[in-house]
Chains A and B, each alone.
Chain A
Amino acid sequence: MAKIRDMIPAFELFQPTTVGDALELLDEHRGQAWVLAGGLDSFDWFKDRVKRPSAVVDLGGISELTGIRDVEDGIEIGAMTSLTEIERDERVRSGFSVLADAARHVATPQIRNQGTLGGNVSQDTRCWYYRSGWPCYRAGGNTCYAAAPQAMNREHCIMGRSRCVAVNPSDTAPALIAVDAKMVVESNGGSTVHDAEDFFIGPAIDITRMTVMKSQDLLTRIHIPARWADADFYYEKIRDRGSWDFQLVSVAAAFRKSEGKIEEARISVNGVAPFPVRLDAVERLVQGTSGDESTASAAGELAIQGARPLRHNDYKVAMMRNLVRRAVRSVS
């Protein structure tokens, strides 16, 4: 689709200052309101005229949504905290460096200054057929253009497909799964807490959404329990160019060790499925080992079991296998 360089189509702008007001607005404009965080996902949609909400609720004025706080069990990050703040925060850097690393790998300095953690995990997929306004399954149509025989699908998924073959673009998502973060989602009916790996959903559950959140829901804060603080972490993101790009494949892992053996592990990979994948089976496999070469190899092979590449993305299978290998190998 040609890029249009003029005004965004008109909408009504609301700038609430409390979460309560924001939730009321979302309720009032049921389904018609768009939640605006950093705007790096939103404005592309608006400018391309693919999404044209009549009302936009800007969360930027809600001070209770920003900042990193110490809580009884770990730390709590407001959903509107900028990625730069997370990348630089001493508590995150020392206790949960995997999250600081992931935040540092997002796009560019300017985007990290403006982009928020809540927005990063809630952003929509970057499948270019979908983003260009093609009437695909995810957009309510009845086909997937990215899985068609002639499709350009180098950056699409190798597992977890269900009609849609898009991938989750978030860099922080696998890191949040690795530290077992809890996502606090509020709506007018109250608040619910989701484990990070359950917060992201695949097309088999709902093809129109990337997360559990519906149009009246708001992700308000992310709680990172102390349990995984100071673990051995590993983060790696592979992308085509050194800035701006989304991941081709990324891995985030946390290991608890005792006497040179892995006691417990959490490993997550993104860029391979419509949701960040948690590798439970690999985690069990590496338990009790020292992360030696043979374990790492076995872990890599296990990780890619069931992978079904599309026409142009079989390289992702090898990439995923090698990233999981490297993550496990980092322990020894």
Chain B
Amino acid sequence: MDQAESVSVLEKKYSRRTFIKGVIATGATASSAGYLFRGSPLLGAATYQTATERLITLNVNGQERRVDVLPHETLAMTLRYKLGLTGTKLGCDRAECGACTVLIDGVSQYGCSMLTHQVRGRSVATIEGLEDADTGELSVVQKAVMEEGGFQCAFCAPGFIMAMTEMIEVNPNPTREEARLALSGNLCRCADYDKILTCAMRAAELARSV
């Protein structure tokens, strides 16, 4: 009985969420949402019943986005599965790989290791927001990556590019060693580090010439 009840509650929540998403985001979001809400054998139905979503406004890439957020939801989850911003990758989900790196008020942080509720009132920048919103022109870091062909599989690229974006703000004239330290919070399993560093140096060069 309890089981049947909780299933119906789940279904209601699920369909309501899908509806809101249909309004605010793309079809891609709705299909990937299954990942987030499919539950896990370790999660009892009670977990869902006690969790209450709140509608909050997030500033993402300069836009005000209204989104329903659970208290225990991480920013990477919200970005990917509710806002359709799948450029931010989830690699380890343990602050150990850097694939989820986003900029919070211009400072690089791991999106997997903060709650969405913690970034209310702050500005979130993801890989999708780097290009010029009006002209679609790529940022200097993106251009540098295109020019130098820095990545092999590029799963780690969004994280690295966000870290580089912060780096050229903080230190527009880095040595290769400084760039290495600035990017030491991102892993590349193809081990393309040398080429990635060349991208970072090229990005700084492009930024200085703008």
Give the B-binding residues of A (Cβ under 8 A).
3-13, 15, 36, 39-40, 43-44, 46-47, 49, 56, 58, 60, 84, 107-111, 113-114, 242-244
Contacts and interface: CB of A to CB of B under 8 A. Distances in A.
B110 interface: yes
Given A40-B95, A108-B185, A10 B36 contact: no
B96 interface: yes
22 contacts: A3-B92, A5-B93, A6-B36, A6-B39, A6-B43, A7-B72, A7-B77, A8-B74, A9-B42, A36-B115, A39-B118, A40-B113, A43-B94, A56-B72, A58-B118, A108-B186, A109-B163, A109-B182, A109-B185, A114-B114, A243-B184, A244-B184
B117 interface: yes
Given A4-B42, A109-B184, A10 B96 contact: no
B126 interface: no
A84 B104 CA distance: 14
Interface string B172-203: 00000000011011100000000000000000
Contacts of A113: 107-109
Interface of B: 35-36, 38-40, 42-43, 47-48, 50-51, 70-74, 77, 90, 92-96, 98, 101, 107-110, 112-115, 117-118, 163, 181-182, 184-186
Nearest to A42: B113
B91 to A, nearest CB: 10
A40 B56 CA distance: 24
Contacts of A3: 92-94
B73 A7 contact: yes
Nearest to A60: B118
Contacts of A10: 47-48, 50-51, 70-72
Nearest to B35: A6
A40 B86 CA distance: 23
B67 to A, nearest CB: 15
A39 B114 contact: yes
Contacts of A108: 98, 184-186
A13 B115 contact: yes
B71 A11 contact: yes
A39 B184 contact: no
A108 B185 CA distance: 5
Nearest to B162: A110
Contacts of B181: 109
A109 B159 CA distance: 13
